[in-house]
Structure 1
Amino acid sequence: MSSSNSHSQSQKPSINYGSPCAACKFLRRKCLPDCIFAPHFPADQPKKFEAIHTIYGASNVSKLLNQLSYDERDKAAKSLIYEAEAWQRDPVHGCVGFISILQKRLNELQIELAIARRELSTYIVSEAPQDANAFRRSN
């Protein structure tokens, strides 16, 4: 089966109830029933589309979404939104900046955990011989 065949089989039309999606509102165009943006950018969430449009451009996002199956589009749209919002918060590092912060915090927590385990092991080791001696005395 060719790749274009698999895409057309999994495509589902978007449902448009008369209100244009956030993308069509922003771009000031009529929102058609088969709008590629409608399922991912509802009218009540305009900031999400504005973020991806500012960072990637509507045309590029449209091309990307059209290359994917319907089922893959939602994950791609969510990822693009997350990344675009990260670039807006941190224009130098984007997502990588947040990932670096999380990695640093993870390293700090791993060090704290190692220290806590080391402390705990000293208590366990110091109590273990006493318990063993108590067991021997009772026999």
Structure 2
Amino acid sequence: MISGRCAACKNQRRKCPSDCIFSPYFPPNDPQRYLTVHRIYGGSNVGRMLQKTPPYVRARAADCLYYEAQCRIEDPVYGCFGIISQLVQQIHNTQSELTKTQAQINILEFQTPQVEMNSSIEQFQASWFE
């Protein structure tokens, strides 16, 4: 096998052209990356998406396609949405806990001056009646 072919061209058993859209994003040493994306989106669709994407964001687009494909394989129903929903729920729970903690702090801060004032009054009364 020729080592210069990208994972996509190896998978399709073709010669890798010099201007191959896949080669920068699907290297030959990581064939699973291309196979994962190919399984969910199909090779021609991935090529089309990469061609329509501006060159300066293609690497990120390829990374996103790979991540989304992995999520879809792990969870065919929800995919990335399932992970996002879990994270949103965790944020909501954390915000609720933070609100409760802030309320408890406010209550304690309100009670502290009352305790200090009561102890000052007791000290004054004790000194008055001596």
Q: Which has the higher contact order (CA 8 A, sep 6+)?
A: 1
Q: TM-score, structure 1 length as denominator?
A: 0.75
- How far did 1:44 drift? 2.0
Number of the residue aligned with 2:104: 119
Determine whether 1:104 maps to 2:89: yes
Determine whether 1:23 maps to 2:8: yes
Number of the residue aligned with 2:61: 76
Q: How many residues align?
A: 118
- How far did 1:70 drift? 1.2
Runs of 4+, deviation exceeding 4 Å: none
Q: Which structure has the larger Rg?
A: 2
Q: Equivalent residue of 1:20, what SS?
A: coil
Gaps of 5+ in 2: 125-130
Rounded Cα–Cα distance in structure 1 between residues aligned with 2:110 and 2:4: 69
- How far did 1:19 drift? 2.3
Post-superposition CA distance 1:75-112 (Å, at most 9, x none): 21111111111100100011111111111111111111
Q: Equivalent residue of 1:88, what SS?
A: helix
Q: CA RMSD in A?
A: 2.2
Once the two structures are superposed, the pairs formed by residues 24-63 of structure 1 within 5 Å of their partners are 24-63=9-48
Determine whether 1:90 maps to 2:86: no
